[in-house]
């Protein structure tokens, strides 16, 4: 059986401005802002929530299926997925569009100016959950608004349990729509900021929202994560990484651990620990898909830290 990962495929173009934005932006002229930054360093990373989650889930022995929409510029990503032996059966190319992409300029103080183009992501509703076979778990990750709503409905109607992971797409939805997602989902995963926004939009506390699902997971970065399940709160500490390089994609790595734990009937503490370990392994490399470990290496690291083996 497979885990169906509905979400974005994207390119991340990251540029480094070797100065500080504040030295080139005049506060009194902010209303007529017109600036240009020389960025001698630039790199392009493979990203998107669906791509990142699938990459990590396969690395630990899961069976991911990517469901996403891409544009005319998809070929480099297609070649990468082929090399990784990640199936592309449910990656739909939308003619006349670009693959979703973020253009990120970072200064020496790690301030960022980001422009995001959704492109083909806006057509994610052209994919249907029913097109994927042998699926026993799914996730609705950040994607086009219509696609996220449709895929949640289709998972629910098909009786396939799924994780609602709104991510940066959360502001697109009203409180009523978010409650509908929660009621349809079996699990909800958010970071601390998203969790607070979810509460504000819905008018419900995390404890109240958790009563509607089997598990509500809130990640806190370096402070670990909290899992609300069965009327209890399971606090999971973060795993100390070998080095801090780039947090991009750490949340997606954690979610891969979450999906693996659910499909293998791991208890919540062990599931959260696996997610934390994957996030720590990822943060030591730039981009969302440049860390590489074998299943045995991950299992050994898990054993060294937690004293048990991954199921």
Region 106-130: mean pLDDT is: 92
Under the banding of pLDDT at 50, 70 and 90, the label for residue 163 is very high
Asked, for residue 27, whether it belongs to a domain, the answer is: no
Return d(Cα 199, Cα 206) in angstroms, integer: 7
pLDDT at 110 over 80: no
Residue 67's beta-bridge partner residues? 6, 90
At 18, which helix (H) or strand (E)?
A: none
The answer as to whether 111 is a domain residue is no
Query: Does residue 25 lie in a domain region?
Result: no
pLDDT in tens, 231-272: 999 999 999 999 988 888 999 999 999 999 999 999 999 999
How confident is residue 111, by pLDDT bands cut at 50, 70 and 90? confident
- pLDDT recorded at residue 199: 98
Q: Does residue 177 belong to any structural domain of this protein?
A: yes
Q: How far is CA 307 from CA 38, 68, 261, 273, 300, in A?
A: 49, 38, 17, 11, 9
- Residue 311: inside a domain: no
Domain count, the chain: 1
- Residue 25 is predicted with a pLDDT of 87
pLDDT given at position 260? 98
Rounded to an integer, the average pLDDT of 264-283 is: 97
pTM (predicted TM-score): 0.95
Domain containing 265: what range? 2-11+48-101+122-306
Residue 6 lies in a domain: yes
In tens, the pLDDT along 178-231 reads 999 999 999 999 999 999 999 999 999 999 999 999 999 999 999 999 999 999
Q: How confident is the model at residue 112 (pLDDT cuts 50, 70, 90)?
A: confident
CATH number of residue 94's parent domain: 3.40.1190.20
Alpha-carbon torsion (52, 54, 57, 60), positive or negative: negative
Q: How many helices (H) and strands (E) does the chain have?
A: 9, 13
Is there a contact between 50 and 67 (Cβ–Cβ < 8 Å)? yes
Look at residue 28 in the predicted model and tell me its pLDDT. 83
Element (H, E) at 20: none
């Amino acid at each position: 059986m497979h885990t169906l990962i509905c979400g974005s495929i994207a390119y991340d173009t990251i540029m480094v401005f070797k100065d500080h934005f504040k030295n080139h932006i005049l506060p009194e002229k902010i209303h007529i802002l017109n600036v240009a930054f020389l960025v001698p360093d630039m790199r392009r990373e493979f990203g998107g929530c669906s791509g990142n989650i699938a990459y990590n889930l396969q690395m630990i022995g899961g069976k991911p299926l990517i469901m996403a929409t891409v544009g005319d510029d998809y070929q480099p990503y297609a070649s990468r997925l082929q090399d990784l032996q990640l199936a592309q059966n449910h990656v739909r190319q939308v003619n006349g569009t670009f693959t979703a992409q973020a253009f990120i300029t970072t200064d020496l103080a790690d301030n960022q100016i980001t422009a995001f183009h959704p492109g083909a992501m806006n057509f994610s509703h052209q994919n249907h959950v029913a097109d994927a076979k042998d699926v026993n778990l799914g996730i609705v990750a950040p994607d086009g608004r219509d696609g996220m709503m449709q895929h949640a409905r289709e998972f629910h109607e098909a009786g396939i349990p799924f994780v609602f992971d709104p991510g940066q797409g959360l502001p697109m939805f009203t409180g009523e729509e978010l409650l509908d997602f929660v009621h349809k989902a079996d699990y909800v995963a958010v970071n601390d900021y998203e969790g607070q926004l979810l509460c504000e939009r819905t008018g419900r506390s995390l404890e109240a929202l958790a009563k509607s699902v089997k598990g509500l997971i809130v990640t806190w970065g370096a402070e670990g994560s909290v899992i609300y399940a069965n009327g209890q709160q399971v606090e999971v500490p973060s795993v100390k990484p070998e080095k801090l390089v780039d947090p991009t994609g750490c949340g997606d790595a954690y979610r891969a651990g979450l999906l693996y734990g659910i499909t293998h009937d791991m208890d919540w503490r062990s599931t959260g620990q696996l997610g934390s370990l994957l996030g720590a392994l990822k943060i030591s490399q730039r981009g969302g898909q440049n860390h590489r470990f074998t299943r045995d290496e991950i299992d050994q690291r898990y054993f060294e830290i937690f004293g048990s083996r991954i199921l």
